[in-house]
Structure 1
């Protein structure tokens, strides 16, 4: 099962998919979706983070997700697929999380070949000249494989074959990654978007490419046998239901009858907890119907756990806090105080009504 928590791309292949089409889940939503899929009877052998962007273009989200899954499902095998940028610095953290393997996508080891594969590469916050970008990418891939192996992790290399571009180069790729310590290699044909059909290799060319790569690396099964047993492909279009799945729909109590909401305009839950300067507070009127009671100011940024303990005090009459995103640490501090933090992108009115048992949950 793949968890789509990587929101940003840091490279683009000329013949690959034209854009990220999957909805991106927050780490909490991904955990809830995994739990719901398991509860539905799915037999999941491994959980991976593969996209829709690159997992290490926003490493904090990837690591948070892996930590959440490891905490909730200690025996679940975990893996990550990445192009290698910004990975080496996180090798130790990945090893500490006990990943079964890390896949690094290496389609070339010669910058001139790579320039014909990639449309752009963005190692940092901006796109740089392609020649410089691919050199940094190839160096990062080599560094990632070395660091991951040094940390004791199994490294799989994925190489996609583009007809007329890197088919004759695949043996050199296999030789180099083998020298770096990679454990196993998968060779697959490209699956281009419209207009890139000329890059699709035929079966004969693929057989030749695999034979060349196999001289230097142990190869995975032929590509036709891969990817047939994916589960959890029905990624939710809205996080409304997932927000409830995260906590099992918290209930109001006599001591905590109210709900706090991080919303910029009162229509949608659209603010990160750490960025919210004020919170809307909803509660029941005398007739029992929920309404906006007022606003509460959030503590000033900084102070670590003390900030979240102070927020817990200010929201001591609330049983739930709705946010668009929140870090694991503030969620834990607030949860320990008795306040359930729900991550959602839904409309405020629908979520508040649903939490008070007011009928069907409304989606945005």
Structure 2
């Protein structure tokens, strides 16, 4: 497998790191356009309480961590992975992300990994944890070649003042701890576990939930500590705090973090850490590309009556290799098309001028989605020299399925009010005119073209420059 990448931050990494992240959609921004993941909901118990979490079940319309429609046994999980791997041949990663904590359910978690390692040897294995039990299980993770671990860490305040506002209690060594003492124990265990993972060559992605008024000003300190430890990637996740979700923070009136708040904190944290900016805060039973969820297609009844022998045929290891070889060929040519486009922030512009550009995509790194069916936009910052990906922004409804009695463009304009351009595969005259009145230029001339190269061309056109960047 080629590990080449047009992303400068990835291209200069050691080859063994490039190999680990190359087809992992969470750890590689480039891979998330092409490779799918599956989360199996095999770990129901949790050993801490978070004020932003309410682990509800059977919530098929909710896309947020801790939510699942059905829990599985390790055997059912392995069967599901094999069935989905046959249907979705771009599947490259199995993750255990709850609905509780993977390491609070160690028997189920590691039995699942044991079965999948045997039955689907080409998949990468990863897990998500709050880190409380992480030091205890690093050796077990090494045993099963689990080399990607996500740790949610929201504070590095050793006094426990910030953490105690986030975690009411933890359950550790058969005892419940509260307040600052709980936060201090959790932090000690998180730092110890992450250091041990790094020492054993396990890549760490740290998730931090951005909670306005609680840890928003503190997260840059978290980023500094993560860099000191050797954490690979930092993901700033905006708190989802709608009252209907029933979390303590939501009921107490702590608001959801806005796109602008997330951008500000990312800017501050990005000074020290490589950031993950394409996260979608997936469900505990997510299936498919990041940004899509096909979980409802693969419920237990689709594979329950199949034997492992049947599923081995279904999984079709050789067919999967052929499919993924074609993906790599496509990625090679896509990288060539986008070459020299991605830049660090200071290299985006020759005169300091940049704009935000929104893009509609159905995947594969192309501008290939109709404006009317968009559920989220990818947001890029761009100047006359280069571009950088910022994050995605979800909209409350698709344009073609907007609320009765209101212009559906209004909610979209509010979400994109700081953008100047929208690049889309197709858009009707009415929404295009409405966007123009709001100061947003919708451009469909780059339909089915590579995203990154097109963002730069469109930005240069916006600045009345030749679309093509001159060769150095």
Same fold (TM over 0.5): yes
Q: Secondary structure at the match of 1:116?
A: helix
Matches within 5 A, 1:260-299: none
Bigger drift between 226-235 and 85-94 goes to 226-235
| Aligned twin of 2:76 | 29
Structure 2 unaligned blocks of 5 or more: 1-37, 58-66, 283-289, 312-472
Distance 1:41-1:223 versus aligned 2 partners, 3 A rule: closer
Aligned residues: 248
Aligned match of 2:50 in 2, 5, 13? 13
| Aligned twin of 1:282 | none
Q: Summarize deviations over 1:105-124 as a string: whole Å, max 9, x none.
A: 10111121111112322124
In the alignment, the residues of structure 1 paired with residue 135 and residue 281 of structure 2 have an alpha-carbon distance, to the nearest angstrom, of 30
In the alignment, the residues of structure 1 paired with residue 225 and residue 144 of structure 2 have an alpha-carbon distance, to the nearest angstrom, of 28
Q: Secondary structure at the match of 2:104?
A: coil
| Aligned twin of 2:24 | none
In the alignment, the residues of structure 2 paired with residue 2 and residue 225 of structure 1 have an alpha-carbon distance, to the nearest angstrom, of 12
C-alpha contact 1:44 1:231 (8 A) present in aligned 2: no
| Aligned twin of 1:92 | 139
Whether 1:182 aligns to 2:219 is no
Whether 1:65 aligns to 2:112 is yes
Shift of 1:211: 1.0
| Aligned twin of 1:316 | none
Whether 1:159 aligns to 2:208 is yes
Q: Summarize deviations over 1:249-287 as a string: whole Å, max 9, x none.
A: 9xxxxxxxxxxxxxxxxxxxxxxxxxxxxxxxxxxxxxx
In the alignment, the residues of structure 2 paired with residue 230 and residue 99 of structure 1 have an alpha-carbon distance, to the nearest angstrom, of 24
Q: Summarize deviations over 1:177-215 as a string: whole Å, max 9, x none.
A: 211111111111011224345331222221111111111
| Aligned twin of 1:191 | 240
| Aligned twin of 1:236 | 299
In the alignment, the residues of structure 2 paired with residue 237 and residue 225 of structure 1 have an alpha-carbon distance, to the nearest angstrom, of 23
In the alignment, the residues of structure 1 paired with residue 300 and residue 122 of structure 2 have an alpha-carbon distance, to the nearest angstrom, of 29
C-alpha contact 1:2 1:232 (8 A) present in aligned 2: no
Distance 1:26-1:224 versus aligned 2 partners, 3 A rule: closer
C-alpha contact 1:121 1:130 (8 A) present in aligned 2: no
Larger Rg: 1
Q: Secondary structure at the match of 1:103?
A: strand
Distance 1:42-1:120 versus aligned 2 partners, 3 A rule: farther
In the alignment, the residues of structure 2 paired with residue 72 and residue 241 of structure 1 have an alpha-carbon distance, to the nearest angstrom, of 15
| Aligned twin of 1:114 | 163
Q: Secondary structure at the match of 2:95?
A: strand
In the alignment, the residues of structure 2 paired with residue 133 and residue 187 of structure 1 have an alpha-carbon distance, to the nearest angstrom, of 23
Structure 1 unaligned blocks of 5 or more: 250-364
Structure-1-length-normalised TM-score: 0.63
Aligned match of 2:189 in 125, 140, 143? 140
In the alignment, the residues of structure 2 paired with residue 35 and residue 228 of structure 1 have an alpha-carbon distance, to the nearest angstrom, of 22
C-alpha contact 1:29 1:246 (8 A) present in aligned 2: no
Q: Summarize deviations over 1:270-316 as a string: whole Å, max 9, x none.
A: xxxxxxxxxxxxxxxxxxxxxxxxxxxxxxxxxxxxxxxxxxxxxxx
Whether 1:206 aligns to 2:268 is no
| Aligned twin of 1:54 | 101
Shift of 1:144: 1.0
Shift of 1:224: 5.6
Distance 1:41-1:171 versus aligned 2 partners, 3 A rule: closer
In the alignment, the residues of structure 1 paired with residue 110 and residue 171 of structure 2 have an alpha-carbon distance, to the nearest angstrom, of 21
Shift of 1:93: 2.2
Cα RMSD (Å): 2.4
Q: Summarize deviations over 1:301-360 as a string: whole Å, max 9, x none.
A: xxxxxxxxxxxxxxxxxxxxxxxxxxxxxxxxxxxxxxxxxxxxxxxxxxxxxxxxxxxx
